[in-house]
Amino acid sequence: MLRVADLHAWYGASHVLQGVSLDVAAGEIVCLVGRNGAGKTTTLKSVMGLLPRLRGQVTFDGHDLLALPVHARYRLGLAYVPEERRIVPGLTVRENLLLGLLASPLRREEARIVARLAETFPRLAERLDQQASTMSGGEQQMLAIARALASAPRLVMLDEPSEGIMPVLVDEMFALFEALRRDGTTILLVEQNVGMALAIADRAYVLDGGMVVHSGRAAAMLADDAVVERYCSV
């Protein structure tokens, strides 16, 4: 589904990604792990088209993503939930959800889609007409994820979804990710909670210094204390 080959990315003069290669098959949860500054977020931003200077290959079902603007990638079925959440605090939960449909061919099905998302996210169902800024950080993160799912994407990229969230909501969130996979949604996950991420993922890539230094089945990586300690400890 997604293939990244020899991807290089820059922030100004800083050469952040130095030849990242990875692939994500349909129906998988694949996680990117590594220490802070390893290039995980930059990889997601590069796939989504949010960085100006890139070199390499990024394809999604045969489409050359580097030749497409962000909105075209979205219409192909890519969705991205950034680390900062970026909900619109002055809007209600319902209005935030509908923002996920602005460029979608599904925008005429607003009522059905809001009902589906409310069923998937019971905490949001109780707060559809509540101003988003009044919710807890964990609930706002759920809203950001729900908004990304509004357009029924085929691949969702999530950047540190559990950061700063109480444990009970983290458990709910990871149960949701597994349910999404069962329903056919593919996930590329960057996550600081390495143990939980590897426990639900099919495969994993370890980034260090802007390069992939290790990859394999997530269960095997989780059992390899040396790899986790060397590359994934903060």
> How far is 101 from 60, CA to CA, in rounded Å?
21
**Residue range 100-108: mean pLDDT, rounded:** 66
Look at the pTM and tell me if it is higher than 0.75.
Answer: yes
Nearest-angstrom CA–CA distance, 132 and 93: 5
Tell me how far apart the alpha carbons of residues 87 and 186 are, in angstroms, rounded to a whole number: 23
The whole-angstrom separation of Cα 156 and Cα 19 is 23
CATH topology for 2-77+153-232 is Rossmann fold (3.40.50)
**Cα-atom radius of gyration of the chain, to the nearest Å?**
17
Average pLDDT for residues 143-155, to the nearest whole number?
A: 90
Instruction: Kindly state the percentage of the chain with pLDDT values over 70.
Output: 95
Distance, CA of 176 to CA of 228 (rounded, Å): 25
| Residue spans of alpha helices (H) in 59-109 | 70-76, 93-99
Predicted confidence at residue 233, as pLDDT, reads: 58
The confidence score (pLDDT) of residue 231 equals 66
- Domain-by-domain residue ranges, the chain? 2-77+153-232, 89-151
pLDDT higher than threshold 90 for residue 26: yes
* Of the candidate ranges 55-59, 108-112, 171-175, 218-222, the one whose mean pLDDT is the lowest: 108-112
Closest CA to 60 of 40, 42, 80: 80
Task: Report how far residue 29's alpha carbon sits from residue 91's, in angstroms, rounded to the nearest whole number.
Answer: 31
pLDDT above 70 (res 105): no
Per-residue model confidence (pLDDT) at position 118? 81
